[in-house]
Amino acid sequence: MRSLFQAWRLLHIAWVLLRNGLDEVLLATHLFRSLRFLTVFAPWYWLPRNKEPFGVRIRQSLEQLGPIFVKFGQAVSTRRDLLPEDIADELAKLQDRVPPFPAKDAIAVIERAFGRPLRDIFASFSEEPLASASIAQVHVVRLQDNREAVVKVLRPGVDRIIRRDVDLLFTLARFGERFWSEGKRLRLIEVVQEYEKTIFDELDLLREAANAALVRRNFQNSKQLYVPEIYWDYCRTPVMVMERVFGTPVCDTAALRAQNVDMKLLGERGVEIFFTQVFRDNFFHADMHPGNIFVSPEGQYIAVDFGIIGSLTKDDQRYLAENLLAFFNRDYKRVAELHVESGWVPKETRIDEFEAAIRTVSEPIFEKPISEISFGHFLLRLFQTARRFNMEVQPQLVLLQKTLLNVEGLGRQLYPQLDLWTTAKPFLERWADEQVGFRAFLRRTRQNLPLLSETLPDLPIKANKLLEDALQGRLTIQWQSEELQRLHESLQIHNRRVIQAIGGGSMLIAGALLLTLTPAILSVSAAFAFGGALGFSGLILLANSGRS
């Protein structure tokens, strides 16, 4: 039944693309270019078709296909350097101008979540949405104490739509890993698993409220970033209420310049906020498209929508920081070594060859402002290098990489001359010093003081007992290793095989000798019976030795 639904969904996707005239994208590829003349015979060419501009048709198709496709459009919309201007403008509308759902449906969700009428919850409710996105929409409300706020409400039934498309992604990923030579290296199933976790976390607005509260604490009294206050008494799983904030959308560069906002400083602050969240807090806003970011007249960022938050393990965080720092210092040998040490490339990779490949890709982009770097070309070369060295995709880093692309795209819009490398390098150097320098030693000592205060008084007694046991020969070492246990079991199995093989071979030989020699000693029937039994027993032992 699930396969039937997925086949139906694929047909629906194809129909939406055809109806909006996007079959031309497929036919423009090299594979189908020679078949374009056959399209005049296709039945859909005889039906009314969408005649809107190309960018509008792409946006409308993504809107009609649902939340996952809208999310893809939002992510792509941040990279105006990789898109024609008309398409970028249309995809930007997916950030907060997705067609809204009726206000009565939003009211029904709110009343069901609180179990009482809307008038008992809010003093006022604006039915005109302030913003509408793929998963939720936002309305302006006034609380009972007269504070102005915004309420975020999940789209009714959005969980079923997302479940359907995630299942389809899993099916496509399994096919990809099975039939596509690059599928296993790209770890498609694991990437979809990471995405599944991320997208379903976004459907829990209580989780989003907790995310926002933590980021707000992390940047308390910061001049770089402001996070609105969460009103916890008004939060439920499908509903979240927070302080209403006012600012200029970060993509409205003309308005920001009219307010005399320092665009260079704004671009640098965006990079610093990202690296602060990743390396200081290990808790970063991972949905930083322009629809979620505003700027105050003083040049302070204002962030909303904390549904997608990322974090790293300590090992990944360290490897990433060391990789970036080595990259900024053009220490390509260290970059290659780190990739091998972390297991991101196979252990047998030759460091010198990998180093040369990284240098070839990376050198051309240094000492250039963002406006002069072709990131499309750079990414293409990186993918080619990764394929050559069988470098696997790291699913746990996909969210971070996507966010970094968003941040870099945002910086390009604000200040095209922004030098991402120069801005990020001092921050990473400070982080490295704090992790491995004298300050790191003091911090870890301070963190471990409570434990040390408990264990230090007992150390002299334990040391004295250890010394006495050693002097009187009572000191024994108990060491249990899973590897040694497996080796011991393997040796036992091997010994049984050897014994069985020797025994089986001996019985076969004995049986053969008896069959040959015993007619002179015993009767023929007895010889055959005894020799056959020995031979059969030998065969069983040999067979068992092969299976053990």
Among the listed residues 412, 429, 396, the one whose alpha carbon sits nearest the alpha carbon of residue 282: 396
- Angstrom distances, CA of residue 397 to CA of 27, 168, 202, 316, 401: 34, 23, 18, 8, 6
Active-site entry in 23, 96, 165, 287: 287
Give, for 207, the enclosing helix (H) or strand (E).
Answer: helix 205-218
Beta strand 225-226 with 148-154: parallel, antiparallel or unpaired?
A: unpaired
Q: Which ranges in 82-154 belong to alpha helices (H)?
A: 85-92, 103-114
Please give the structure tokens belonging to residue 414: 């604000």
Q: How many CB atoms lie within 10 A of CB 375?
A: 17
How would DSSP label each residue in 58-80? HHHHHHHH-HHHHHHHHHHHT-G
Between strands 225-226 and 301-303, the pairing is: parallel
| Burial class of residue 369 (count of CB atoms within 10 Å of its CB; 0-12, 13-18, 19+) | middle
Spatial distance between the Cα atoms of 293 and 211, rounded to a whole number of angstroms: 16
DSSP H or E segment with residue 131: strand 131-132
**Dihedral (CA of 342, 344, 349, 355) sign:** negative
Structure tokens at 7: 């086949």
Residue among 421, 405, 404 nearest 369 (CA): 421
Nearest CA among 57, 50, 49 for reference residue 73: 57
Going 99 to 101 to 107 to 111, the CA torsion angle's sign is negative
Residue 121: Cβ-neighbour burial (10 angstroms; 0-12, 13-18, 19+): buried
Residue 287 designated active-site:
yes
**Cα–Cα distance measured from residue 58 to residue 423, given in angstroms and rounded to the nearest whole number:** 35
Give catalytic residues, as residue numbers. Answer: 287
